[in-house]
Amino acid sequence: MRTLIKHALAATAPREGVTVKGWVRTRRDAKGFSFLEINDGSCLASLQAIVDSAVTGAEHLHDLTTGASVSVTGNLVASPAAGQKWELRATQVELIGKADTSFPLQKKGHTLEFLRTIAHLRPRSNLFGAVFRTRSRLAHAVHQFFQARDFVYVHTPIVTASDCEGAGEMFRVTTLKGNIDEKPEADFFGRRAYLTVSGQLEAETFACALSNVYTFGPTFRAENSNTARHAAEFWMIEPEMAFCDLAGDMDLAEAFVKAMARHTLEHCAEDLGLFEKFVDKGVRPRLEFVVERPFQRVPYAEAVAILQKSGKTFEFPVEPGANLQSGHERYLTEEHFKSPVTVFDYPRTIKPFYMRLNDDGQTVTAMDVLVPGIGEVIGGSQREERLDQLLENMKFQQLKPEDYWWYVDLRRYGSVPHAGFGLGFERLLMFLTGVGNIRDVIPFARTPGSADF
């Protein structure tokens, strides 16, 4: 029976006949015996095994180099030396798979750039093991958060023919050869099809039936964005609530971010310690701060006024009516408020058609949650539930209602106020771990010009 190292290290008493399997992190030879550090990814820490040169299988010690896979059976005993509580006194060692001397992961620090070039091996490093354990736990926490609130998980389609909000370039999906625009009606789906950029419109239809729903799945943007926080393929979380207004939407967004921060503090403590030590010294205080303090909420117009009065010169000047630049967003959250900030009621002209028009006729019920270090992490809105106004909005944005006939239908049959938001899972992970590049919180990053692995 194999014991995960995580469980072996959590022992409360010595134990005999324990078998662990994993990968050698390092071997240190002493007179007549060797120290083997074994890691199986079940936790950050490795288990130190003491392998006497007389032990069965010790003749293979020479090949038990960094990266090799191994099975060690022995007795778990209290370690006489500092550095670890428990160690495994081996009675049997088995070399499972040798690692060539070209094994690129060394015992010493590597740059993130280099590790990206060996994305197939980087999960074996301390940092990436921690990142992907944390990613898994937070994915689970996302479901727990919504399920505990009676939200229904909806699998919205990945292939779609509707271009939601025109927000971003889409990847074309086709089985046609040659000129794919010549006869789109001859294509697999009988029309042009794309990879989804958002499940929101479909999620709205389910919210208008099951009340509270959420999606959590892959999303694709063919934008030529080359930044530390953009990927062509990423995972997005999109809750949608019927009978809900913008205030309720902001409440949910805030509760969600707080819950994820709390979950990280409580359930990813060991890995968080690594992030704190090697990635971002401020990450734990920041999470504690986020959990404890209410988010600031400020209307767009007021945010602009704050920026204008800041006395700061930004790379791009503050322009009322225009989108906030990332420099502006960072000032608000990092310097002015020093906390997450929800900016709401944006000018109609810079937001998509489905957002509900406010009574002033100038702004819409949009909201963005800005967090220190990342900028925008959530974008959401109350949706336009009034049929006439929705049609007017579409006209305003030069969209054809017939292309969205089913979406418009929701406003014909039992329309209700509803609201929701979208949140990039990787951006959330960046915020929670302090990791500064989106390519380092997703197993195999897809970015312009790069789809290795």
Give the footprint of RNA on residues 249-308 (CB under 7 A): none
Site for RNA in 396-435 (CB under 7 A): 422-424, 426-427
Q: Tell the smallest beta-carbon distance from residue 156 to RNA (Å).
A: 15
- Binding flags for RNA, 94-113, as an x/- string (CB under 7 A): -------xx-x-xxxxxx-x
Nearer to RNA, 116 or 387 (CB): 116
Among the listed residues 126, 174, 310, 323, the single contact to RNA using CB under 7 A: 323
- Binding flags for RNA, 179-218, as an x/- string (CB under 7 A): -------------------x--------------------
Site for RNA in 40-79 (CB under 7 A): 48, 50, 65-66, 79
Among the listed residues 144, 175, 227, 308, the single contact to RNA using CB under 7 A: 227
Does 230 engage in binding with RNA (CB under 7 A)?
yes
168 contacts 231 by C-beta, under 8 angstroms: no
Q: Tell the smallest beta-carbon distance from residue 2 to RNA (Å).
A: 22
Nearer to RNA, 66 or 387 (CB): 66
Q: Tell the smallest beta-carbon distance from residue 186 to RNA (Å).
A: 30
Burial bucket for residue 101 (CB in 10 Å: 0-12, 13-18, 19+): exposed
Does 167 engage in binding with RNA (CB under 7 A)?
yes
Does 376 engage in binding with RNA (CB under 7 A)?
yes
Q: Which amino acid is at 76?
A: L
Q: Where are the beta strands (DSSP E) in 301-374?
A: 341-347, 363-371
Among the listed residues 13, 83, 150, 179, the single contact to RNA using CB under 7 A: 83
Does 327 engage in binding with RNA (CB under 7 A)?
yes
CA neighbours within 13 Å on the CB side: how many for 245? Answer: 4
Alpha carbon distance 7, 19 (integer Å): 11
Number of CB atoms found within 10 A of residue 317's CB: 11
251 contacts 342 by C-beta, under 8 angstroms: no
351 contacts 332 by C-beta, under 8 angstroms: no
Angle at 248 between CA 404 and CA 429, to 5 degrees: 85
Number of alpha helices (DSSP H) and beta strands (DSSP E) in the chain: 12, 16
Give the binding-site size for RNA (rule: CB under 7 A).
72
Strands across the sheet with 233-242, in order?
A: 152-153, 212-220, 233-242, 418-424, 375-382, 363-371, 341-347, 296-299
Nearer to RNA, 80 or 294 (CB): 80
Nearer to RNA, 225 or 389 (CB): 225
